[in-house]
Amino acid sequence: MSDESKKITVSRTIDASAKDLWDVLSNPARHVELDGSGFIQSDHKTDRITANGQVFTMNMSGAHMGGDYQTDNHVVGYDKDRLLAWKTAPAGTEPPGWQWVWELQADGPDQTTVTLTYDWSGVTDKALLQKVGFPLVSKDQLEDSLNKLAAAVSGS
């Protein structure tokens, strides 16, 4: 399988400034509002994301993990108002290779193209690949996350 077949990317233009979108994306407490997969339950005492190297923890739930669990999300891409990326791992472990990448391209003062990529090309553990059954999140669920971001930033 090529690396390109191990990622899903969706884009949408949202009628909001990159700054306003960033304000939502960089606040893990708001990620439950954006989750098209339904796995995120809440953040776990996290601070706003302000730099590479930060780790934020999320409370999750899903049958693929047997119910409730936590993830540690290691920030690996940070460019304020432009790029936010993190690698996800079961809490207390190192990331096994999948990541989430949000890219913001301002198209004017009140319009931004948002691109969301779910990338599992870095997962090399064959047993994990079979256990998780990547992709765990579908293209439709990612598109729903973009729709939810648009709703969150508009306040509706």
Rounded to whole angstroms, the Cα distance separating 73 from 52 reads: 11
Rounded to whole angstroms, the Cα distance separating 129 from 138 reads: 16
Terminal C-alpha separation, the chain:
40
Structural domain boundaries, residue 87: 3-154
Judge if pTM exceeds 0.95: no
The structural domain count of the chain equals 1
Question: By C-alpha distance, which of 44, 43, 38 is closest to 148?
Answer: 38
Paired with 11 in beta bridges are 115
The DSSP call for residue 9 is E
pLDDT tens-place values along the chain, 156 residues long: 557 799 999 999 999 999 999 999 999 999 999 999 988 898 888 899 999 999 999 989 977 767 788 999 999 999 999 999 999 999 999 999 999 999 999 998 999 999 999 999 999 988 888 888 889 899 999 999 999 999 999 975
- Output the DSSP codes for 69-88: EEEEEEEEEEETTTEEEEEE
CATH number of the structural domain spanning residue 73: 3.30.530.20
